[in-house]
Amino acid sequence: MSEAAQYDPYALSVDDIQEPPTSLWQALRKIGPGIILAGSIVGSGELIITTGLGAKYGFAFLWLILYSCIIKVFVQIELGRYAISSGKPTLAALDALPGPRWRTHWLVWWWFFMLLATVAQLGGMIGGVQQALNLTLPGVPPWAWGVFIAVSIIVLLLSGGYVMIERLTTFLVVSVTAVTVLGAVALQFTSFAVSWDQIGKGLVPGLPDHAKATYYAFACFGITGVGANELYYYPYWCVEKGYARWTGPRTDDEAWGRRARGWMRVLQLDAWVSMVVFTSATLAFYFLGAAVLHPKKMDPADSQMIEVLSHLYEESFGSWTVRAFLIGAWAVLFKTLYVSSAGHSRLTADFFGLAKFVRFPESDSRRAWIRGLCVFYPLLALTFFLAFPKSPQAMVKFGGMVQAATLPIICSAALYLRYRYTDRRLAPNRISDAFLIFAVVSITAVALYATPISVIEWIDVLKGVKPLPLKP
């Protein structure tokens, strides 16, 4: 984190104030947090869960994919708005809310318990990367690939801070999205071409008629688009990018309001550009699964997950693309594990500080904890992979289910921050407010309907997940 040593991104100073860009090109050069978010989004959820949903149920859930990708962006923007208004990232914002607390606010503890419930998802990502590498270079023991992946993630995380994360994810996200969209377009020139009738039927909202479909769709809803984890991450990336720091400490003068509104426009541009990117990739993965794998009745499940998915591009470009897909799958899942580890490390360090388990007397203390956690999370992911080497899809689906159940909590908190804490000079227009309210209400309704069904289904799934026997 070499560039982070030059300043504390979480401290506001008049010396760091910058005027917001005045042209679209200048504003585009200042986006970045959303692309990092897309680096986390266009990964395990899209490659594993979205494609698998299409493979199992065809185009039936196309409406859910679109809804999931678009509606949560309004919550994402609102959390970013509060970060500019206050200079506080997510957990610090939640800690300022009224309500029960022990050391810190109960909503901060909720995040921590969600983290504990979803870290198994990191093990699923290592499992996916290992499968891709093993199919490319067979003969290497799975555990050796797992160790190699975890160590590689640690080295990358310790070699650079925000700028490094932004540059690497931008390259990988653009590359993966372009190839996946091209693959989906190329399907139109094969026997697997998608018809308007299929798309039209898929856009009609409908509820699944059995528990397994509900569980799968709910997990997909939680992990595609801006998931709960990404909603928590986003204000941290906005703060580290500099939006709050460039706005400066909040004052009552008009200059602060003008700067805040200017940087808020950049943040909104950042969020919607990233939405176009990850929605394009998500739809492409879903179309490939629904159009190619579903007619063949090929289910990308667990130990054969990557091998089955490798056939996605074969119909569009030929058999030579299997090897290319394996490289792409490696890049997608590796990138998501990289960004997720970086995000978890920042929030966990913040949690320890807010709960007063540790103190950060200076910015170097926070950085030291973040660096330590950047070592811890890849090793934790490796532990889950070694314990459950044949269940990557099950681990990712479970993480998606828990994230989906958490969405109403973080969405409601964003709504409360909007009306009670965000500076009125940054208030959105009535249309944005209406979409925010609709997002909170509809997401909560989906969670209330699907969570009980998904929990029961997960208990049944869990009975079939057997850990690796530990031999002396």
- Residue 239 clears pLDDT 70, i.e. is over it: yes
- Residue 2 clears pLDDT 50, i.e. is over it: no
**What are the pLDDT digits (tens) for 406-442?**
899 999 999 999 999 999 999 999 999 999 999 999 9
Where are the chain's structural domains? 17-104+168-330+393-463
List alpha helices for 87-119, DSSP H.
Answer: 90-95, 106-118
What one-character DSSP code corresponds to residue 137? S
- The residues with which 141 forms a beta bridge, in sequence order, are none
Handedness of CA 98, 101, 106, 108 (dihedral sign): positive
267 within 8 A of 81, measured Cβ to Cβ: yes
- Residue 457 clears pLDDT 80, i.e. is over it: no
- Mean pLDDT throughout 10-27? 89
**What are the pLDDT digits (tens) for 365-402?**
888 999 999 999 999 888 888 887 665 566 666 777 78
pTM recorded for the entire structure: 0.86
Of the given ranges (348-352, 446-450, 453-457), which has the lowest mean pLDDT?
A: 453-457
**Distance, CA of 453 to CA of 57 (rounded, Å):** 18
**What average pLDDT does the chain have?**
82
pLDDT at res. 390: 61
pLDDT at res. 103: 93
Of the given ranges (2-16, 154-168, 330-344, 434-448), which has the lowest mean pLDDT?
A: 2-16
The DSSP secondary structure of 28-67, one letter per residue, reads HTT--HHHHHHHHHTTHIIIIIIHHHHHHHTTTTHHHHHH
**What are the pLDDT digits (tens) for 73-132?**
999 999 999 999 999 999 999 998 999 999 999 999 999 988 887 777 777 778 777 777
pLDDT at res. 344: 92
What one-character DSSP code corresponds to residue 249? S
- Residue 469 clears pLDDT 60, i.e. is over it: no
**What are the pLDDT digits (tens) for 284-324?**
888 888 888 888 777 666 455 566 666 666 655 666 666 66
Residues 6+ apart with CB under 8 A from 329: 47, 128, 129, 131, 132, 306, 309, 310
Q: How many CA atoms lie within 13 A of 11 on its CB side?
A: 13
pLDDT at res. 405: 85
